[in-house]
Amino acid sequence: MVSWKNPDELSSFKELCSDTHRADLKTLMSGEHSAKRVADYKVAMSSGLSYCFASKAVDDEILSKLQALADEAELSAKFRELYNGAVINTGENRLVLHQLCRGQLGDPVIADGVDKHEFYTHEQAKIADFSDAVHKGDIANAKGERFTTVVQIGIGGSDLGPRAMYIALENWAKANNKLRMKAHFISNVDPDDAASVLKSIDLEHSLFILVSKSGTTLETLTNEAFVKTALKAAGLDPAGHMIAVTSETSPLAKSKDYLAAFFMDDYIGGRYSSSSAVGGAVLSLAFGADVFARFLAGAHAEDVLDTNPDIRKNPAMLDALIGVYERNVLGYGTTAVLPYSQALSRFPAHLQQLDMESNGKSVNRFGEPLSYKTGPVIFGEPGTNGQHSFYQLLHQGTDIIPLQFIGFKHNQTGMDTVIEGSTSQQKLCANVVAQIMAFACGKDDANANKYFAGGRPSSIIVGEQLDPEALGAILAHFENKVMYQGFIWNINSFDQEGVQLGKLLAKKVLARDCDGALRAYSELLEI
């Protein structure tokens, strides 16, 4: 059995926090020796990716202390407990099984009387058969015509992850003749969101996926009603255009209002659900079940790497530990995610939820208040757009903000052009290299406005090209990083009570069961 302790009870964490030694990043990344540092401070990931942390403010001495923390906090053992079916989500008394959707890491996990890996793969097979039938035209609209568009209706984890994954692979799919159906997403209860999507598609040839684990999510059911109204107004039967992704116990599971239903369970949190039926249905319909299977394979291969207790062979654990060092020792409260790939334009938004909903906690696993900082604020945009937006603060602002870059040697489409002696892709890659070095080394200048202090830490995940395997690996890396940080901080990264209070108050407002400021604000908005 593992021991769950706050980090300030661990001697390795106390030593890390009390040690006055600091790595001089500006010096480490300057001069000829810096080339060797880049080569040495790199960890292989799966799918041809690598995690380079040469521009982080760590050295061998600090890495040794981080390894000691990983060992004393029993990080590998806690991950083993998780994938072998322990009740890791203590807040809701649940197992945490999203890794089982993409492969078996340990012992068979039996819950609810079934082998859960078999349950998830069975649902994947059902989705594969269904999507194949849709693509062949065996499942079609009332006129026998093929569906050409798929629209996911969901919110939170039912939207952010699947949407980010779809956008990430859309251009790759077009270039590789894998785009089977164009996908759209409706999430915001703001009626303008649904209206905008519905006006942009051909309803008669559209298939809608309603995603709600409980079958009671207010925003999602509201948007479903919005869509059904539009379908009926167009003379279409909604039941012939809708499928559901839900739990077996929800009111949607056996409803005649859907062509089919695919199941998940309470052991997969929304923000971890892209590799479950939540992502599987829309991605399989959009690209084919074979592409979704490749995505899962990439994620599983990364999960396997991330079981290693040696932090120099475990990129997610190393990334997590460096993040804890930056948060708790160096005092940095924010992290920017900066993908130099337009395909990953919505990936920072997904990571916002993944990280901030998981580790935005102020009590430990036992409900006791914490005396140390936990999850950072996450934000980001793709480069080079961000360079012309918020990088000014990153370079010369009063706060140091750690940076996580993602970059690829080749683009997804193969399309490019040479301008002034270099291609667009080369210019993109040159920009990310320049930014890493500018942040680390800065620039001396007698003019204070043009002086850059440097010493601003970053890491980069590098790959050949963003394809399904690479995308799965990157997703698993960040999921496992967040998990390991939660283990270190001794918090429950798998519940989200912070999203519930607002929902309850909104229901009170709609039921006119409110007074005081709540009523005053309601009147202000004419509710």
Question: Hey, which residues are catalytic here?
Answer: 357, 388, 503
Which residues of 273-395 form beta strands (DSSP E)? Answer: 334-340, 377-379
Q: Is 218 exposed, middle or buried (0-12, 13-18, 19+ CB in 10 A)?
A: middle
d(C-alpha 94, C-alpha 111), whole Å: 10
Alpha helices in 213-269 (DSSP H): 218-233
Token digits of residue 447: 């003019």
d(C-alpha 84, C-alpha 77), whole Å: 10
Give the dihedral sign, CA 95/100/106/109: positive
**Do residues 247 and 126 touch, judged by C-beta distance below 8 A?**
no
Residue type at 429 in one-letter notation: C
**Could you tell me how many residues make up the chain?**
527
Query: What DSSP string describes 454-520?
Result: ----EEEEEES---HHHHHHHHHHHHHHHHHHHHHHT--TT--GGGHHHHHHHHHHHTT---HHHHH
Give the dihedral sign, CA 72/76/82/84: negative
Q: How far is CA 451 from CA 25, 390, 439, in A?
A: 17, 18, 12
Compute the C-alpha angle 427/429/434, nearest 5°: 90
Token digits of residue 424: 């667009």
Q: Is 511 exposed, middle or buried (0-12, 13-18, 19+ CB in 10 A)?
A: exposed
Instruction: Report helix angle 160-175 to 468-489, nearest 10.
Output: 160
The residues near 444 (Cβ < 8 Å, ≥ 6 apart) are 451
Q: How far is CA 336 from CA 393, 403, 460, 522, in A?
A: 11, 5, 12, 35
The CA dihedral of 191, 272, 354, 215, to the nearest 10 degrees, is: 30
